[in-house]
Structures are given as C-alpha cells and as structure tokens.
Chains A and B, each alone.
Chain A
Amino acid sequence: MKHIDSLTHVRGESLYLDDLPLREKTLHAAIFASPYAHGTIKFIDLDKALACTGVHAVITAQDIPGENQIGNILPDEPLLASGKVHYRGQPTALIVAETDELARAAREEIKLEIQPLPVVTDARQAAAKGLLIHAPRTFKNGNPDDYFDNFGRVFEGSTETGGQEHLYIETQGAYAFPTESGGVHVHSSTQGPTQVQRGISRVLGLPMHQVEVDVTRLGGGFGGKEDQATPIACLAALAAHITRRPVKLVLHRLDDMYMTGKRHPYSADYRIAVGRDYKIQAYEVTFYQNAGAAADLSPAVLERTLFHFTNAYYIPNCRATAYSCRTNLPPNTAFRGFGGPQGMFVIEAAIAHAARELGVTAECIQQNNIIKEGREFPYGQRALRCEARACWEDLRLRYSTRNLYDQVKKFNQKNKLKKKGLAVMPVCFGISFTKTMLNQASALVHIYTDGSVRISTGAVEMGQGVNTKMVQVVMRSLSLPAERIHIDTTNTSRIANSSPTAASAGADLNGKALEQACYRLTDRLLQLAANILKISRSDLSLRDQSVYAMKKKTDLTWDELISRAYEERLSLSAQAHYTTPQVHFSKDIEMGQPFAYHVYGAAAIEATVDCVRGTYVIDNVYVSHDYGKSMNPVIDLGQTEGGIVQGIGWMTMEEVIYDEKGILQSNALSTYKVPDIYATPGHIHVHFMDNNGHPLAIMKSKAIGEPPLMYGIGAYFAIYNAILAANPQADVPFHAPMTPERVLRGLYSNGFSLFKEKEKTTTTAGN
C-alpha cells in the first residue's frame, strides 16, 4: 500500500501549516533573537520597533502571564531571554505586525546591549569549567581495568562527530487563535502536540483544557520538531493571547537555521583491548556531549548514547561515562538516532584503529564480537530473538563481502588516481522511549452509521508513513478497504496526553492502541452478529466487509451490522490506551529492561576516493535488515533509503560550523550542504530479512524510523579505508564529517605524493 497522502502530495493539495487559509485580521510575528552568544542584558530598545508601520506589539519576557519557562526535562530554558542571553539565536523579543514583511522590518530597529560574558562553544572546554547539564552517568559491565592494565593489545584515541542540521524542508511554524473562553487554539508543526499544549499552558498560565493543539502533517521533522517546535508555538500563542488576534509565526530558513538546535556534536576518548582471537576483551569510552545552552532533550540523548555505546557487539568488560556539557550554542536536540549514532561511531572508530594497528580488516574484529542470543547488554537487558548474527551472515553470503573486498583490492592495484574502500557496519538499536513513562499511547475510533470509519491517534505524520500504517491496522482489524477509513489530524482534544512521535515508536505505540480500540468494536459487533445469526460468537469473524461464520460468508454485511448496532443503541465508538509491557529502567543502578525489542541489521558500504581532488562517491550500499514482518515494504524501504542517505550526509558533507563567538557559519543552504540527487549512493541494495517479527511490534513489523540512519556511519570508514589504500601512512584523525577537505588533507599527510612512487618504481625498473 502506498503512502495515503501520495496523491495530494504530487498534486500540491496537501496542506501544511503555512498553507492554512488565513483568518480575518491575522497578525504575523517575527522573533528578535540575541545576536550575542553570552552576556547580561544591559538595555533593549524596543521603541523604534514599536513605532514602525503596522506593528501591534513587541513582546518580551515581562509580558508573559504565566511562567517564562519551556524546559521539558529540566526547567532551565526561558521562552524569552530575561536578564541574560545564553546563545546567539535565543528568542528575546517578538514583534507582531500586520504582515510578515512589516514584522521583519521592525525587527531591524531593535537594539540589544549586553555586558559580554565568556563564550564557550566546545564540550570539553565546558566540562573542564564544570559547566554540566547534570552529573555524569556511567554504564559498566565486567572489569575493564583488569585488561587495560595487563594486556598488550590496547589502543586508545579520540573522536569527534559534528552536529547535523535537520533541514526539514518545511521550517518551524505555528498559527494561534484566541478562543471565546480565553484559551487558545493552535496549529503547530510539531512532533509533540501534548508537549506544545503543556508548554503553552505553562507560559500563559492557563489550564491545559483551554489549549487545543492541532497538527495536520509536517514537512519533515527528523527530531527537530520534537522539543523545538514548542517555543515557536508558545510564542505564537502568547502573541495571540496578548493581541486577541490570530497570529502566525513561520520561520524564514535563515532564522530557523541559526535559532534552533541540531544533532549534538560529541567528542570522545576511547580505549580498546583486543585479544589474539580478535575478541574485544575490554572497551572504555568517555563522551563529551555538546548540549548547547539548555538541557532540552540532551539528558535523554545522552542516555541513548550510553545504551548504544557497544553497538551490536557483546563486550564482556566495558565502561562508558558521559558528560552533558553546557555551552553557548542553541540547545541541541533530538535528531534521528538520538545519541545512538554518536555512541556507535566511537566503537567503530576504536575497532578501525585496532584493525589498522593489527593489520587486519575491521570486519575481522566486528565479526568476532557480534552479540548472540541471550547475551546481556551493558544495561542488563538480554538480547532475545536476536537477529544480529543472522543479519551479519546474510550480508556476508548474499552480497559475498569476500568478493567485494577482492574487487576493491583489484581496483586499487590497477588504479593510482582513484582508490576504493569498503566498510561493514552492523547496527543494533533499542526500540522504546528510554524514559519508560512515555511508552503509552491512545487511539479513538468512530464508526459512522453509513459504515465509514474515522480514526484518531497521537501519532504525527511527518512523511514516515505512520498514518498509512494506522490505516492498515484498521483495515486488518475491521476488514475494511482503505477508502472507508479516514485518519484525522493529530489533535489534543481527541487524543489527550500523547507522547511525541519519536524514538521510532510512533507506529508501535499508536498502532497497538488502535488495534485495541478496534478489538473493542469488533467484539461488540460480533456479539451482536452472534445474536442476529444465532451462531456462537467464537465462530464469527469479519472479512471482506461481511460477517463470516467459520470460513463461510453469511448474509450479514458490515453496513447492515452497523445499522443494526445503531438501532440496538450500541456504541460505535471506542477509545483505547496501550502501554508497552515489561519495560523498566533504574537510573540508580543503570540497569533494567528499557526496550521492547531491538532492531538489527548490517550494511556494507563501498566508496571511491579521487586521490587528485580529494572528492569521493559512495558507489554501493548493501543491506541486510531486520524488519520483522514488514507491514508496508514500500514505506519501510523508503525509510531505509532515506535514513541511510541522511546518515551518509552526517558522516560526509554536512558540516555544522560555529565560530569562537558562537556564530553559525554554515547558516544557509548555500553553506550547509545536504545530499542532492547526485550525492546519493550509486546503488542501495536492501534485503528484507525473513523472520517472524516481534510480538511487541505493530503487526510484527519492527520500528524503522531511526535504525537505518546508522548504516551511514559505514560511509565514513569506507572513505577512511580508501584513503589508507592510497597512503598507508596517512594521518586521518577520527573526525566526522569526512568532508573533501579532511579527505585531501588526510591523503596528503606524512609526505604523500602521487608522483613519488612512480619515480621510485622507474628507478627500481631501471635496476
């Protein structure tokens, strides 16, 4: 089944926030953000802006009727700066005017004076100064120290991974209307409507029932609209509340880029001890997460880094310590993978390092350490229904990685100006919110008297196809064709207290709730059918819009059954609530069972480096992925390909650059590059592993949003290996992204020259 929005998408008829028809007398808002990264506010001149044509209000912190606080995990983030500014791009005032142009023109008239304070942009520097979001956390298994102290083959080093701009093509936005009862109705481009509702309620000092949040769809989210949509919606609501007019706030791209947080850059130190059998005896890592100026979701992101610091490997002795460091950058936030990729990069770097020193391929070490059924992860959960080795073996056999290595070797022997590299990347990703509380969802199903069905869940559609999967759940549960089912916008009045659509768990949680709601209805309806048909309830089922007795179609159709149910005054609506069973985690001991299940997979990535120019292409990506029983292969393939390319982007060309003053240098699409159609790999070969799926996955179809992104990490190491093929002495720090600059400087390190060797060869030949 294709994405249910496909037709309106290709016709340009799908509505996004910016497309909503304007209500009469709508005002437009623009954010004045701090131009400075850190300082005490001395003076802010608003008078000139207030005097500008068409300006209705200029709102600052003191105008907030409720609490000036939007911090979700920790209360450390004001909606509008007050007293101090902590990053460049921090919202400080809001201009409300008759048009967007007038609001932006007035913004130019605002002057902010500060007493500068020291600007910290680097995580390690922040840690050295004790600037931490919270106390460091440590996950540990076995006794790593024993091995580091008494073992020869220990390798240590450092890594850096950069940030990543979400670059959803639809920027952040919200549109708020005051209601007759003094509340607000808000359209928001958010992954977390309840969080927006809670935020607005807090900022306006209103009970939550006075705040309604509605989400049609997002033009991309990727985690960037999980927490960071909240301030935008709060500002629009605040302006609507104060001016008593509808207020629209849609960020221009450049504002979006410099005001909002991104994927967390990480710096890390590692030590790895590898045995003669290439078993990893011990591994230790210290992470420095660059959290930015406020907690945002950083503590949760940090936690997931710790959950995934051993990736898909079983390491008997390991320890990871993680620091969430407060810097003067926009608060970094959720981004597909949520700290997992940052954790996995380090172990892969450590393995690549060890392999280089030991003169073997990284694959040799990876192969010997893939986690097996029943082994424990460092946080105490066992790997059950573990598909790690199955995926790994499938990859090796299906695509014959041995042949691939041989081909690369042959190519490299024949070619001097171009070199190929191959890298294998296994992935293991835990599914569930690591904060156990969030693993709940509810769903609402109405059957109308004509037999058509309208459903609501807490899931937000952002392109990932969750709404399509929800419709599929209902199609199967009620045995109806897609055209008889309509899915509603995500709305806090229909679905209360929803968790954000995040953690790859949207389809599982909401789908399971929806299944239960449908089950309640079918149970009720089949009981009625049993009475009508005088056949035992247990023999009845719904199929092809009819009631079946045993396997035989009866005369009772769906439409008739619904009519009868209405006549009998049965409720044709059901609401259900789902909680993931058995998940728990204790921070005190850093142990528990945080995940419903794990998703596994393995990928091989082949890259070619141009040794003259330092440029590269990703030729092939080969994947064996554990989808469980995919309920929608078109959507799941799309998520896989999209995730891989986004992961490759993070590892290669996407470079977030701040200068020492905390000013974003990569501040536009002209300086921040995401993959274009020519940058996508030549081929992405995907194999759907054939297995029984997992009972906690919706229709046994495992979560797909995040896991494939991490295959992209293989691109870094494929390019790394190609550089080493050209220059075995190359000095290539484990520093991602691997931009053409890093490639060229790596290639031409330690005296490498394209021509030298030839001269040498000529001499040898002469002898």
Chain B
Amino acid sequence: MTGIAFILNHREVVSSLPPGSILLDYIRIHSRLIGTKIGCREGDCGACNILVGEPHGEGIRYRSMTSCLMPLANAHGKHIVTIEGLNRKDPTPVQRAMIEHGATQCGFCTVGFVVSLVGFCLGEKKPDEARAIASVDGNICRCTGYKSIERAAAAIAGELAELGEENRLERLVENGYLPDYFQTIPERLRALREKSAQPDVAKQAYIVGGGTDLYVQRPEEMSERRDRYIFDNPRLREVKQVDDEISVGAAATVTDLWESTEFAASFPSLDRAMKLVSSTPIRNMATIGGNLVNASPIGDMTIFFLALESRLDLLQQDEKRTIRLADFYKGYKLLDLGPGEIVESLRFRISDEKDLFNFEKVCKRTHLDIASVNTAVRMRVVDGVIRKAVFSAGGVSPVPMVLNKASALTAGRKPGHALIEEVTAAAENEISPISDARGSAEYKRLLLKQLITAHFLELFPQLCPVEANV
C-alpha cells in the first residue's frame, strides 16, 4: 500500500496527497468533515482540535492535537477522530453537559471543546474536575467567558468518576460516550500498520517532528513538501534513565516527558512548570528536539534544560558527537549543527536530594502564551551552602542563555537577600533584551531580576519577607 494510510473516524483511508499537507485541510476540504473549524491556523485556538489514537500496550492511547499544524504524514498509522466520528444518535454525555450548562453560544469553538473533553474522558489518569479543565487549556472561546464550560467540565468529571477506571474504552462505549466502532479500532489499526509502509523520505528533507513551529512559520511551503517525519519514530521518543543520567529522545513530546516516571522523579514541582508550557494539544505534538532546534530565544524547554547542564547527542550519518546544550546556540537562530546532522537525544544528570530546581515564566497570559521572560535554575545545596548554581534565561538575549556570571558568584555562598541582589545585578550585566510585543526591554530587565528573586523565594521559603504589622 502506498500513500498515507490511517483510520479517519470509522473508515480506513489512504491519501496520495503530499505528506506535508495539512491534516485540517484534508479533513475539511478533501473529506468534507466540516465540524472541525478553522480558527487561527497556528495552534492557538483549538477550534480544529482532533483526537489522535495510536497503539499503546494492548489498547490505543488517544491524545488531542491541533489539526492545523499537523502534517498528513503524522496521521500515518493512526486513528484520527473528528466530531463526526464521536457523534452518536443521541447526544453523548459530553455533548449533553455542554448543552445543559449553556456552554455553547456562537458554537464556532464548541466542537473543539467537545473533542478536547472527550480526550479527557479517554485519558489514562483518574478523572477529576481540574483535569477536565486542563484538557481545554488549548481551546479559546470568545463568547462564554468559560464559566459555563467549567460547569460542564465539572459535571463530566463527576459522571466519569462513577464509571471506574478499569477498561476505560469499553466503559465509555457502553455508557454512550463513544460510538461502538471504537472497540474495533485497536485490531483494525494494528492490521493497518502491518500492511502499510512509512511514506518515502525525500533527499532534501527537513526533519519534521510535531510540526508545531514549522507549520506556524511557513505552512504554504510545508504543505507541498515531502520531508523526513520523525514524529512516530519509537527509538527517538524514548525517555529513559541511563546510569545517573536521564536521556530524552529528540522526538519525545512534552507530554511524553511530563508523563515519564523517570523524569518526574527528578522534579518535585514539575506539574507547576509544565502547566506553563503551551497547551495540552500542543504539548501532545511538540517535540523536545523541535524546541531545541527551533532556537527560539524564549523556548520553555530549552530554558528548562539549559539549567540542567544538558548535553546533546548529535548524529551525522554514522558519526556521533556530544556537545553541551549551552554551546549549541551560536547566535540568533544559529546552531552548531552540520548539514544533515540531527539531534538524537538530550541527556542530563539526575538531580538528587541536594539539588534544587525551579522554573519561572511570565507572559501576558499565564497559560498558553509565549514568555516575556523565562528562567530556570538548578542549585546544589549542601549544609545550607550553595555549592553550585546554574541559572538559565530566555527572552533577554538573541539566544537562550546560561547566566554564567550570575551563576558563578553563588558558589560557596549562603542564600540570602544580599546574595539575591548580587545575583540579579550580575545577571543584569550579561543580558541584552529588546522591546517587542511581549514587553519593553526595560520591563524584561526588571522581570528577570524578579524571577531570579522568585527562584530564591521558591527554593528557600525562609527568605520570604513577611508583612511588618503581623
């Protein structure tokens, strides 16, 4: 079988369109499934959200994704679910809750919300209200003000909790959350994957991961191309522990990382940090390698990993080399990466009980936004004395950077207000922010200073000032 083969709702399909074609257009134009809407075509509104199922263990794991940024190639071997594939004769419990709570007004964003909420229902974690709401963190509604959507989400979470967690898919089908055909998908998808080969790789190819940046920057160009799509490569998706290090495959998504037990063990405040990184559907698509190679001066994961003194394993043909992540960035969007060379994985030393880690990010909107400034730090503290600290910062120079001077002067010092002042003063001297839509240069200077202060206050709560008159 040639072409890109997948199951679209209940139907096996094969497409001979260019593999770079945008899935949203395939859905709306080529399949005329018009329930999926076009809102922004940059992954920022969720009106085009779909569910993507792939084999996982014995069953299928579904995740919500924005079809506007998804190359058709990334649908290969998957179950793609649009609203038409979720409708039953009667409204499903999710649809019913949205109606009952008046959670739909103009209706244009509604399908995206319904799809995301079904994604929540299909999730592996214990259903609760917070998770239901988190599932729509990538959906924008301009009409309702979200309160009615919150009420609907709470109702859905409540009903779902009563279903129990065993055999989730089966129970969802039994209780009318999903059409019956969902139960046939695991077998059909396996059969399909066995008989269909991956699409060919072109010679002059980009390496395409989740597509979440390439398809924002140049959708027209990408949609006509045949590239090297690594989204599905299981070898490149692994997050594993090797000796005293964690190794993260370049194609691992942010969600893969967040859900990895090995990874989470190192970061007690991981949930707080990850919640600040884009949105559920984007985290389900965006790869770590993509975030690093994109070289945005403000990439959240890049800043995260810089503070961990990560190293990159690069591969060119059969030649491997390892460099420090901090040395990867040569200038604005300029990388130490040869032609044809790819990032294979990222490694960093696992934190132990003496290591403290914190990530801070401030933007105009707390969630689903690009930072004005972001920063991370890992400190090694022994007997109340800082042995070593590495501060990273984004949005304050042409490249994501390590604040070398600020980091250096912490060695051997006890955390305190005086040290905070010295560190922020040193940081101030090594940055060069510019004014843009995310804030004035002056603000970014002040903000970095405040976020470094926040690192100290988060890691050493005893430093928090208390109100005088209490």
Residue positions of A touching B, CB distance < 8 A: 2-3, 5-16, 18-19, 101, 104-105, 166-171, 217-222, 252-253, 412-417, 462-465, 612-615, 634-635, 637-638, 641-646, 653, 655, 657, 665-666, 668-671, 673-680, 684, 739-741, 744-745, 748, 754-755, 757-761
A217 to B106, CA, bound (A): 8
Partner of B102, one of A635, A657, A675, A676: A635
A219-B37, A670-B44, A678-B367 are contacts. A416–B147 as well, Cβ < 8 Å? no
Are B146 and A677 in contact (CB-based, < 8 A)?
yes
- Residue contact A684 to B106, C-beta cutoff 8 Å: no
Decide if B438 is an interface residue (CB 8 Å cutoff). Answer: yes
**CB <8 Å contact, A758 and B35:** no
B39/A680 in contact, CB under 8 A: no
Mark each residue of chain B from 71 to 95: 1 if its CB lies under 8 Å from any CB of chain A, else 0.
0000000000011100100010011
Given known pairs A10-B91, A416-B467, the reply for A676 and B106 (CB within 8 Å) is no
Identify A412's interface contact among B95, B108, B467, CB under 8 A: B467
Q: Are A18 and B38 in contact (CB under 8 A)?
A: yes
In this complex, the member of A3, A612, A671 whose beta carbon has the largest number of chain B beta carbons within 10 angstroms is A612
State whether the Cβ of B137 lies closer than 8 Å to any Cβ in chain A: yes
25 CB-based A-B contacts, threshold 8 Å: A6-B99, A6-B104, A10-B110, A12-B34, A169-B106, A169-B108, A169-B141, A171-B38, A219-B107, A222-B142, A252-B41, A413-B467, A416-B464, A612-B450, A612-B454, A613-B450, A614-B362, A638-B143, A641-B147, A645-B147, A670-B42, A677-B141, A740-B362, A748-B450, A757-B468
Distance (whole angstroms) from the CB of B88 to the closest CB of chain A: 10
Say whether, besides A6-B104, A169-B108, A638-B148, A16 and B464 are in contact (CB < 8 Å). Answer: no
Please indicate the chain B residues that have their CB under 8 angstroms from the CB of A680 in the complex. Answer: 145-147, 150
Q: Which residue of B lies closest to A665 (CB)?
A: B437
Chain B residues with Cβ below 8 Å from A642 are 105, 142-145
A252 to B369, CA, bound (A): 21
Q: Is the CB of A678 within 8 A of B443?
A: no
Q: Does B36 contact A (CB under 8 A)?
A: yes
Residue B109, interface by CB 8 Å: yes
Which B residues between 129 and 146 are near A, CB-CB below 8 angstroms?
133, 136-137, 139-146
> Which of B84, B98, B104 has the most chain A CB within a 10 Å cutoff?
B104
Contact B36 A417 (CB under 8 A): no
Are the CB atoms of B99 and A2 closer together than 8 Å? yes
CB-defined contacts of A643 to chain B, threshold 8 Å:
145
List A contacts of B338 (CB < 8 A).
Answer: none
Complexed CA–CA distance, A754 and B449 (Å) = 12
Add 10 more A-B contacts to A169-B141, A463-B105, A673-B363 (CB < 8 A). A12-B111, A219-B37, A253-B42, A417-B464, A614-B450, A641-B144, A642-B143, A675-B145, A675-B365, A740-B363
Query: Which of A13, A169, A748, A761 has the most CB atoms of chain B within a 10 A radius of its CB?
Result: A169
**B 107-121 to A, binary, CB cutoff 8 A, 1 in contact else 0:** 111110010000000
Point out the residue from A7, A673, A684 that lies within 8 Å of B369, measured CB to CB.
Answer: A673
Among A9, A615, A744, contact of B110 (Cβ-Cβ < 8 Å): A9
Quick check: A670 and B150 within 8 Å, CB to CB? no
What is the count of residue pairs linking A and B with beta-carbon distances less than 8 angstroms? 255
- In whole angstroms, how far apart are the Cα atoms of A465 and B467 in the complex? 49
Chain A: minimal CB distance from B110 (Å):
5
B368: A residues at CB distance < 8 A: 676
Which listed residue (A222, A638, A646, A676) contacts B140, Cβ 8 A? A676
Nearest 3 pairs of A and B residues by beta carbon? A12-B35, A463-B106, A219-B108
Residue of A nearest to B98 (CB): A10
Which of A167, A641, A741, A759 interacts with B148 by CB under 8 Å?
A641
Task: Report the minimum CB–CB distance from A709 to chain B (whole Å).
Answer: 10
Q: Nearest chain-A residue to B107 (Cβ)? A: A9
Known A-B contacts A169-B108, A220-B108, A613-B362; the reply to A413 vs B470 at CB < 8 A is: yes
CB A476 to nearest CB in B, in angstroms, measures 21
Q: Which residue of B lies closest to A632 (CB)?
A: B102
Contacts of B144 in A (CB 8 A): 638, 641-642, 645
A739-B364 contact, Cβ under 8 Å, with A417-B464, A612-B450:
yes
Instruction: Please tell me if the beta carbons of A638 and B105 are within 8 angstroms of each other in the complex.
Output: yes
**Residues on the A chain within 8 Å of B102, using CB:** 2-3, 6, 634-635, 637-638
Q: A11 and B104 in contact (CB under 8 A), knowing A101-B220, A740-B372?
A: no
B453 within 8 Å of A by Cβ?
yes
Considering only CB atoms and an 8 Å cut-off, how many residues of chain B contact the other chain?
83
Chain A contacts for B447, CB-based, 8 A: 613-614, 741, 744
Cα distance, A653 to B367, chains bound together (Å): 12
Most interface-central of B100, B363, B366, B470 (chain A CB within 10 A): B366
Chain B, residue nearest A21 (CB)? B32
Q: Which of A11, A674, A754 has the most CB of B within 10 A?
A: A11
Bound: A666/B107 CA distance, A: 26
Is B436 an interface residue, CB under 8 A from the partner? yes
Q: Is the CB of A677 within 8 A of B37?
A: no
Complex contact B106–A11 (CB within 8 A): no
The CA-CA distance from A16 to B94 in the complex, in Å, is 22
- B308 touches A (CB below 8 Å): no
A746 to B393, CA, bound (A): 23
User: Please, how many angstroms separate the alpha-carbon atoms of A740 and B454 in the complex?
Assistant: 15
Among B35, B216, B360, B370, find the residue whose CB has the most chain A CB atoms closer than 10 A: B35
Is the CB of B440 closer than 8 A to any CB of chain A?
A: yes
B47 within 8 A of partner (CB): yes
Cross-chain contact B133 with A677 (CB below 8 angstroms): yes
A632 smallest CB distance to B (angstroms): 10
Please give the distance in Å from B179's CB to the nearest CB on chain A.
12
Closest-by-CB residue of B relative to A14 is B107
Assembled-state Cα–Cα distance A612/B146 (Å):
28
Who on chain B is nearest to A419 by CB?
A: B467
In the complex the two chains form, is B147's CB within 8 Å of A3's CB?
no
Q: Which of B45, B150, B443 contacts A741 (CB 8 A)?
A: B443
Query: Would A615 and B366 be within 8 Å (CB), given that A12-B36, A13-B35, A668-B42 are in contact?
Result: yes
Chain B residue contacts of A2, Cβ below 8 A: 99-100, 102
Q: Complex formed: what's the CA distance from A465 to B144 in Å?
A: 12
CB proximity of B454 to chain A, nearest CB, Å: 5
Kindly state whether residue B264 has any CB partner on chain A within 8 Å.
no
As a 0/1 sequence over residues 370 to 409 of chain B, the CB contacts with chain A under 8 angstroms (1 = contact) are 1010000000000000000000000000000000000000
- Evaluate contact between B451 and A613: CB separation under 8 angstroms: yes
Contacts of A760 in B (CB 8 A): 468
A19 to B454, CA, bound (A): 49
Note all chain A residues with C-beta closer than 8 A to B440: 741
B83 and A744 form a contact (CB under 8 A): no
Which residues from chain B contact A755 at a C-beta distance below 8 Å? 417, 420, 465
Docked complex Cα distance between A3 and B109 (Å):
15
Cα distance A412–B148 when bound, in Å?
Answer: 31
Q: Which of A105, A170, A252, A754 is close to B108, meaning CB atoms less than 8 Å apart?
A: A170
Q: Is B306 an interface residue (CB 8 A)?
A: no
Q: Complex: how many Å from CA A5 to CA B106?
A: 9
Name, among A3, A6, A637, the residue most crowded by chain B CB atoms within 10 Å (CB to CB): A6
Q: Are B106 and A218 in contact (CB under 8 A)?
A: yes
Residues of B within 8 A of A645 (CB): 144-147
A669 lies within 8 A of B140 (CB):
yes
Which residues of chain A come closer than 8 Å to B110, judged between CB atoms?
Answer: 9-10, 12
Residue of B nearest to A642 (CB): B145
Q: Which residue of A lies closest to B68 (CB)?
A: A253
Whether A669 pairs with B443 at a CB distance below 8 angstroms is: no
What are the residues of chain B within 8 A of A657 when measuring CB–CB?
Answer: 437
Determine which of A13, A668, A748 lies in contact with B446 in the assembled complex, contact meaning CB atoms within 8 Å: A748
Beta-carbon contact of A7 and B91 below 8 Å: yes
Which A residue's beta carbon lies closest to that of B133? A677
Interface centre among A9, A13, A101, A634 (most CB of B within 10 A): A9
Which residues of A sit under 8 angstroms from B442, Cβ to Cβ?
A: 745
CA distance A2 to B114 in the complex (A): 17
Cβ of B40 within 8 Å of any chain A Cβ, yes or no, is yes
Q: Judging by beta carbons under 8 Å apart, are B39 and A253 in contact?
A: yes
In the assembled complex, the Cα of A744 lies from the Cα of B364 at a distance in Å of 12
Bitwise interface map of B from 30 to 67 toward A, beta carbon under 8 Å scored 1, else 0: 00001111111110110100000000000000000000
